[in-house]
Amino acid sequence: MRAIAAALHVDPLDLLVDIDDPAFDIEAWADPILGTDRTDPEADRLAVVIAAAVRARRAADDTLTIAVLEDEYAIAPVILSRIENAHKPYDRWNEEVRASLRRLFGAADDPALAALADDACARGELDAFLPMIANPQLRIAKTRARTAALRAELSGEARPAASAPANARTVREKAARPSLETSVLERPVPVLDAPTPRKFAAEEIAADACATATVRLVPVYGSPLPGGLLARTPTDTHVEAPRNAGPRAYGLRIGRSTLGAGLPGRAVLVVDPDRYPSAGGLAVVELDEGLRVIAITFDRQGHTLGFSLNPDFEVAIDTIDPARIATVLSAVFE
């Protein structure tokens, strides 16, 4: 940011957006970014509901791993991440992706899939997942926190220790107009505190929903070492963890594609040291030289193996201390 500011001959602090400034208009700010690429609000709503349905489907079935979705349903990890975060309206996905989603839910066609997702939403089955996808107040809270950190760094102020957990904060701002971007319910909801590194309370955003949801951010580590290994070096960034993550979960930036194109180097993995991996999933093993990301499988004799592709590496999982093996719960693609 200092280099950009120098090129523009402005103060670096002038590059920061103050969303709390009364003169700041989010619509005016976003208009040149959006341009003509605008979508129907109903299409956006459906994308969010289907994203929540996919998350709920995976949470209800421990065997539905990232690897299974890729092998059996032809949904690559990078596509799965975009689907689960509603990166674009459902009808903008190609037929191959839509067919995979229909097969995942057993739907005959796109209208049937939409009806299935809407019914699940109406029954309250998606309440815990919707705030993870479309919650403007959570994004506002993240923006405030990140802007404050940048302002402190650019001003030369002392930065807080990366390991110090932030207090939980409840986001209570409400938008003037009910929509999917805000909340169709205008009822405050209680949020239970949990011993997590960072946490933000999220408002309900689904019609007829009354459940609560907690969004948890965990610290990200990772710097490259020779031979495809990683050092657990703090990066001073955070990533959202799934709701089933244990108290010691953390993020790991892999930096390179050691498991092939299905897991690109820009991925950040959410790793849980308190869960033991199973075949079909991914794991992180702690070796004397550093951390290594591996895929878990069985051989013909039933032995559990871990392997990577780049470099070609294989290890017998049963010979490793379980305390040095952690399960990969999810992946976020930057």
Asked if residues 241 and 218 have their Cβ atoms less than 8 Å apart, the reply is yes
Contact 130, 206 (CB under 8 A): yes
**Is beta strand 304-308 parallel, antiparallel or unpaired with respect to 313-316?**
antiparallel
How high is the pLDDT of residue 301?
A: 67
SS3 104: helix
Give me 98's structure tokens: 């839509």
Residue 77: what pLDDT?
Answer: 82
The one-letter amino acid at 10: V
- 191 vs 60, residue with greater confidence: 60
Distances from the Cα of 217 to the Cα of 5, 80, 256, 297, angstroms: 30, 20, 23, 30
- pLDDT score at 189: 32
The arithmetic mean of pLDDT across residues 14-34, rounded, is 82
The pLDDT confidence band at residue 36, using thresholds 50, 70 and 90, is: low
Distances in Å between the alpha carbon of 174 and those of 27, 46, 124?
16, 22, 21
What pLDDT, on the 0 to 100 scale, is given for residue 157? Answer: 56
* Tokens 């421990």 -> residue: 62
pTM of the model: 0.41
The pLDDT value given to residue 140: 78
Apex 332 CA angle, 327 and 334, nearest 5 = 145
Name residue, tokens 């107009």. Answer: 177
Question: What confidence tens digit (pLDDT) does each residue in 138-180 have?
Answer: 677 778 888 888 888 888 754 444 433 333 333 333 333 333 3
In this predicted structure, what is the pLDDT of residue 168? 33
The answer to whether residues 193 and 166 touch, using CB atoms and an 8 Å cutoff, is no
Q: Which domains does the chain have, with CATH numbers?
A: 41-132 (no CATH), 218-333 (2.10.109.10)
Cα separation of 202 and 129, whole Å?
Answer: 11
Mean per-residue pLDDT for 198-210? 39
| Rounded-to-integer distance, Cα 254 and Cα 231, Å | 10
| Arithmetic mean of pLDDT, 102-130 | 92
Report the alpha-carbon distance of residue 70 to residue 25 in Å, rounded. Answer: 42
